[in-house]
Amino acid sequence: MMEGLVSLKATPKISFRSPPSVFHRPCLSIRPFMNPLGANRHSAASIRAQQPDAKDGSALVSTVSVENKEISELKVKEWEVGMFQEEVAASQGIRIRRRPPTGPPLHYVGPFEFRIQNEGNTPRNILEEIIWHKDTEISQMKERQPLSLLKKALENAPPTRDFVGALKEANHRTGLPGLIAEVKKASPSRGILREDFDPVEIALAYENGGAACLSVLTDEKFFKGSFSNLEAIRNAGVQCPLLCKEFIIDAWQIYYARIKGADAVLLIAAVLPDLDIKYMTKICKMLGLAALLEVHDEREMDRVLGIEGIELIGINNRNLETFDVDISNTRKLLEGARGQLISQKGIIVVGESGLFTPDDIAYVQEAGVKAVLVGESIVKQKDPRLGISGLFGKDILVSS
């Protein structure tokens, strides 16, 4: 499964470019020939003052060159900050790197610069590939729509609905885990799940089938989703609260999800350090959004349980690095002291991935979940309403 994606490696290559405007500091263990960031740093004005009068525009060229140098230095500084963030993440057991560790700094040799292309700047698994792509994607989106514009758009955003309350009500009414039904066209591991994909039609069928909430995939490259789908479902009059299922690495995405109609967002512990989670959950509360914190192993669970104010924890039975699925993972993470602490804090646990039958639902419910997030097993059904009743072994619109 996912052959060629789970463990990606590239044959070492060397790519040559023209001389750089600034000698970038080589990364990691390679020592620099010189450090431009601490030497000969003059302002554009002081450089201009030293230039002789020239009618051919050479002084202007020098000014532009200095400004380009300052931009290049800023990019290197941004990279250095990113590397520090990676160190913090690694100390918390986070293996997913936020960006390629080998660039932008380039090695300088004579009139050329080059970057060695090897396993250092090749994603090691599918989740890392998704995150690296997301980092580039969000940078471009932020340029088109700065945060200041998103904050202004909040004035016209629809009011949020009670995502957590909807799950509690469904669990109390039916005696079964509240269903978060997922509107998903494709996944990296399964490919296209449904060819005749109409997000609004599927969302309405889920709602009519008894779903308490909906999850809408918004990642385009790997899951064939979009924020347009989220917005269309909200504008179609669907009453179920909506979870924006996105790979969030920047607070900007939370604001964007809010103005597109989300009532909740997903935060993945395998990607986000503790400080990011604390910061982002505070933003969610400020915007009236619920935050579903997703974990996969004991260390991630312990990290999340150590953060105050968490209301929803999703246990993903799928390892996002290998895409292997094991629903016993839910029971393992809810045994003993962890389960007791979750109960004391009143946290709702959501079972995720690998749930296809009434026996699967009963298994995770017995382990302690109060809600389940299900996509593949119901979205592939010709009539998603029948898929829901088949999943639970009964019509969940009717109280038990």
Per-residue pLDDT of the chain (400 residues; tens, 9 = 90+): 443 333 333 444 434 333 333 333 333 333 333 333 333 333 333 333 334 444 444 444 455 455 556 555 555 555 555 556 677 777 888 878 887 766 544 555 555 544 444 446 788 888 999 999 999 999 999 999 999 999 999 999 999 999 999 999 999 999 999 999 999 999 888 889 998 999 999 999 999 999 999 999 999 999 999 999 999 999 999 999 999 999 999 999 999 999 999 999 999 999 999 999 999 999 999 999 999 999 999 999 999 999 999 999 999 998 877 778 999 999 999 999 999 999 999 999 999 999 999 999 999 999 999 999 999 889 988 899 999 999 999 999 865 4
- Quick check: 342 and 305 in contact, CB under 8 A? yes
CA 108/CA 286 separation, integer angstroms = 47
CA 159/CA 138 separation, integer angstroms = 25
Tell me the pairing of strands 242-245 and 213-217: parallel
- Kindly give the interhelix angle for 336-345 and 298-305, rounded to the nearest 10 degrees: 30
Contacts of 82 (CB under 8 A, 6+ apart): 98, 99
**What is the CA 292 to chain-centroid distance, rounded?**
12
Contacts of 281 (CB under 8 A, 6+ apart): 267, 291, 293, 307, 309, 310
Predicted structure pTM score? 0.76
Residue that is written with structure tokens 């669990």 in the block: 171
Torsion of CA 286, 290, 292, 298, to 10 degrees: 60
Nearest to 41 by CA among 77, 80, 83: 77
Phi, psi of 191 (to 5 degrees): 75, -150
Q: Give the CA distances from residue 113 to residues 19, 33, 160, in Å, rounded to whole numbers and listed in that order.
A: 6, 12, 51
* Region for 222 from its dihedrals, namely left if φ exceeds 0, alpha if ψ lies in -120 to 50, beta otherwise: alpha
Q: Give the CA distances from residue 361 to residues 103, 214, 351, 356, in Å, rounded to whole numbers and listed in that order.
A: 45, 18, 9, 8
- Quick check: 293 and 314 in contact, CB under 8 A? yes
- Quick check: 258 and 151 in contact, CB under 8 A? no
Phi, psi of 394 (to 5 degrees): -170, 165
Contacts of 343 (CB under 8 A, 6+ apart): 368
Residue 159 is which amino acid?
P
Tokens of 288: 């009236």
**What is the CA 379 to chain-centroid distance, rounded?**
22
Phi, psi of 298 (to 5 degrees): -60, -40
Residue 35: enclosing H or E segment and its boundaries? Answer: none
Residue 202: enclosing H or E segment and its boundaries? Answer: helix 199-208
Q: Give the CA distances from residue 269 to residues 9, 266, 305, in Å, rounded to whole numbers and listed in that order.
A: 25, 10, 11
CA 120/CA 136 separation, integer angstroms = 18
Q: What is the pLDDT of residue 82?
A: 58
- Quick check: 258 and 145 in contact, CB under 8 A? no
Q: What is the pLDDT of residue 74?
A: 54
CA 249/CA 263 separation, integer angstroms = 18
Q: What is the pLDDT of residue 319?
A: 85
- Quick check: 348 and 164 in contact, CB under 8 A? yes
Q: What is the CA radius of gyration of the chain?
A: 25
Contacts of 162 (CB under 8 A, 6+ apart): 241, 263
Tell me the pairing of strands 13-17 and 112-117: antiparallel
Residue that is written with structure tokens 């898929």 in the block: 387
